[in-house]
Structure 1
Amino acid sequence: MSVRAPLPIRSLALFSLLAALAGLCALSVTIGSRDVSWSEIVAGLAGHNDTIGEAAVALRVPRTLLAVIAGSALGLAGAVMQGVTRNPLADPGILGVNTGAALAVVVGVAWFNIVSTEAYVWSAVAGAGCSAVLVYALGSVGRDGATPLKLALAGTATSIALASLIIAVVLPRNDIAGGIRSWQIGGVGGASYDRILPVLPFMAVGLAISLLSARQLNSLALGDDMAAGLGERVPVARAFAALGTILLCGAATAACGPIGFVGLIVPHLCRLLVGLDHRWLLPISALGGACLLLLADILGRIIARPAELDVGIVTAFVGAPFFIWIVRQQRIRQL
């Protein structure tokens, strides 16, 4: 794979993803448990809800918006994580960041009775940050420091431990167990603007930090010694980029629950399109993540119609075989 794909190919990939995203948004508003006519779609988009069809369209608009925002955040966070750790298996779920965010939210609900989306977001960001620091500290133990293999193992172990703590917190609380279990699956159903607006500032800051870290990630890809020789302060560059992923993952988890594999699948596919240059890879991964999560939501509505499958289930079905394929393709020294 070349470091940088030719400009026409990168431009074509960008416009193709934008077109795909627009088409998926149209499908998301159209497809559901109830068929809607073109006139109902237009009226629903205009804010009318006089008929059942118009009301259905009006409800699908924030759902579509949340899927786009959360998918963009997870796709971008995965690309940044893989760049920071130089680990092809890095993913907000595999490295335990999403699980840390979920544990913080569950503890907040169970012990501190938090109910607002703002409290969810702050709790999730704090949990994601603590989990990221813990995984990196565990992965850094030993002579060779934080190798990709040790980070993957530390993240997996941390994720399992934190998931067990979530069960321990929820188990004695029958009053919240049902809602927490449903939220843990990960989904965008029931989205509303009140649920979306509080996460936007965190998403915007995380997006800006992540995109601004593109040049540093290109330097880190050459190795720590080479990056330092180019004038980069390696620990600062890693911490700056990691902050963006923590904000993105925390906000996405607070709004949708922990959704796995988006941050693993999307960066790998996008590298095939645009190469390894993070100045292109990061925005393309954001678009790819939005497309993937939106497509998963649409498929979840079609497969179980008139019921629905949450996007977390659909992405797990797709992501688990993809994860196995990546593990088989990568040599141990590259992990």
Structure 2
Amino acid sequence: MSAGLDTAPATGGTTAPAARRGVTAARLLGLVVAGGLLLLVVLLSIAVGAKPIPLSGVIHALTHGEGSVDGVVILDLRLPRTVLGVAVGAALAVAGVLMQALTRNPLADPGILGVNAGAAVAVVFAIWIWRFSDLTDYVWFAFLGAGAASVLVYLLGSRGRSGATPVRLALAGTAVSAVLGAVISFITLLNPRVFDQFRFWGVGALSGVDADVIWQVLPFLVLGTVLALGMSGSLNALALGDETARALGSNVGLTRALGAVAVTLLCGAATAAVGPIGFVGLTVPHMARVVTGPDHRWLVPYSILLGPILLLGSDIVGRVIARPGEIQVGIITAFVGAPVFIALVRRRRIPEL
């Protein structure tokens, strides 16, 4: 009898660490698979277009430089577009993770909560009033608009006794986005110059973006991503509630402040570069949670890989179904993300994050 009692705890003690190691190994394997899938999507993004190029030609151009017409097309046009898609996709996905964690709202998204609309209306004002046309100026206005919209939505959604519930924040974000969208339409319809400069940017597109854009927005995207990775442990504590997070030693105020800075950096730079693209930040975190669960230490890295896969995959679909033209990526992501949003809203119980 004594031997049996001694054996049971020992078995349980060895099983739990083994189970944790198995989960960790499975998540690492998932990251490797996601990385391989991202590499494949990158190659397809470079190969697919009005002029299809075989993968062998893509690899030859990437390794040997501009030795042919295909090399010029790949290195001067498609490669910068693909690199920008990777950076923007990762930024929007990570911003979605942060917004869902900071608000404990599974419906949070840079588009749904008005962040993209705030950045867009600020860019419109920059074009209209100050006649800016350089992306460097757009970035700063996009930052200002994204931050102001985030604060406004949170203030509106947190009014009342119930506070900032997921549904209230989603409704506030929808209302703010509608108003800002009306302001954008009013300005652009009355000013042909503003409309001409804004129309391609406003739909959300990776095409037609100069290669210099990548270097102008990359520092902001990298800084925002590093902040998100660094605070992933604090996000896990915050998911348990403010009081529990404080009891665990987490600085809730600092976590929210750094999260707001990271979201503004990521959304502002991404929106300034390619225009407002919705639903990537909503869809990708829920895709990643299928593998990672609620652990943000894994959720953020997975989102960094899955975001570009979704965005570049949507961009490829837009080029294929409308060949020799293309459908802008912002339209495709809306078709992909809208059903996910509807499914989440229709759930009887919104899942805890």
Provide TM-score, normalisation by structure 2: 0.89
1:126 is the counterpart of 2:144: yes
1:309 is the counterpart of 2:322: no
Structure 2 CA distance for aligned equivalents of residues 309 and 4 of structure 1: 44
| Alignment gaps of 5+ in structure 2 | 1-19
Deviation at residue 128 of structure 1 after TM alignment = 0.4
1:286 is the counterpart of 2:304: yes
Detail structure 1 runs of 4+ shifted over 6 Å in the superposition.
332-335
Secondary structure, counterpart of 2:193 in structure 1:
helix
Deviation at residue 179 of structure 1 after TM alignment = 3.3
Q: Which segment is superposed worse, 292-301 or 171-180?
A: 171-180
Instruction: Indicate the residue corresponding to 1:136 in structure 2.
Output: 154
Structure 2 CA distance for aligned equivalents of residues 307 and 4 of structure 1: 49
1:35 is the counterpart of 2:60: no
- Once the two structures are superposed, the pairs formed by residues 1-335 of structure 1 within 5 Å of their partners are 6-37=23-54, 40-42=57-59, 44-45=61-62, 46-48=64-66, 50-51=68-69, 53-58=70-75, 59-331=77-349
Contact 1:84–1:241 (CA under 8 A) maintained in structure 2: yes
Distance 1:139 1:162, change over 3 A: same
Structure 2 CA distance for aligned equivalents of residues 24 and 321 of structure 1: 23
Distance 1:227 1:24, change over 3 A: same
Deviation at residue 264 of structure 1 after TM alignment = 0.5
Q: Which segment is superposed worse, 42-51 or 91-100?
A: 42-51
Letter of the 1:30 counterpart? A
Secondary structure, counterpart of 1:122 in structure 2:
helix
Deviation at residue 41 of structure 1 after TM alignment = 2.8
Superposed CA offset, 1:311-332 (max 9, x none)? 1011011111111111122526
Structure 1 CA distance for aligned equivalents of residues 53 and 168 of structure 2: 51
Deviation at residue 35 of structure 1 after TM alignment = 2.1
Deviation at residue 281 of structure 1 after TM alignment = 0.3
Structure 1 CA distance for aligned equivalents of residues 351 and 273 of structure 2: 37
Deviation at residue 215 of structure 1 after TM alignment = 1.2
Structure 1 CA distance for aligned equivalents of residues 67 and 342 of structure 2: 46
Structure 2 CA distance for aligned equivalents of residues 288 and 167 of structure 1: 33
Letter of the 1:320 counterpart? A
Distance 1:49 1:148, change over 3 A: same
Deviation at residue 192 of structure 1 after TM alignment = 2.7
Larger Rg, first or second structure (1 or 2):
2
Contact 1:33–1:305 (CA under 8 A) maintained in structure 2: yes
Structure 1 CA distance for aligned equivalents of residues 254 and 142 of structure 2: 23
Structure 1 CA distance for aligned equivalents of residues 351 and 227 of structure 2: 30
Deviation at residue 16 of structure 1 after TM alignment = 0.8
Percentage of matched positions with identical amino acids: 49
Deviation at residue 43 of structure 1 after TM alignment = 5.4
Deviation at residue 84 of structure 1 after TM alignment = 0.5
Q: Provide the aligned length of Structure 1 versus Structure 2.
A: 332
| Alignment gaps of 5+ in structure 1 | none
Letter of the 2:321 counterpart? I
Contact 1:103–1:162 (CA under 8 A) maintained in structure 2: yes
Aligned Cα RMSD in Å? 2.0
Secondary structure, counterpart of 2:129 in structure 1:
helix
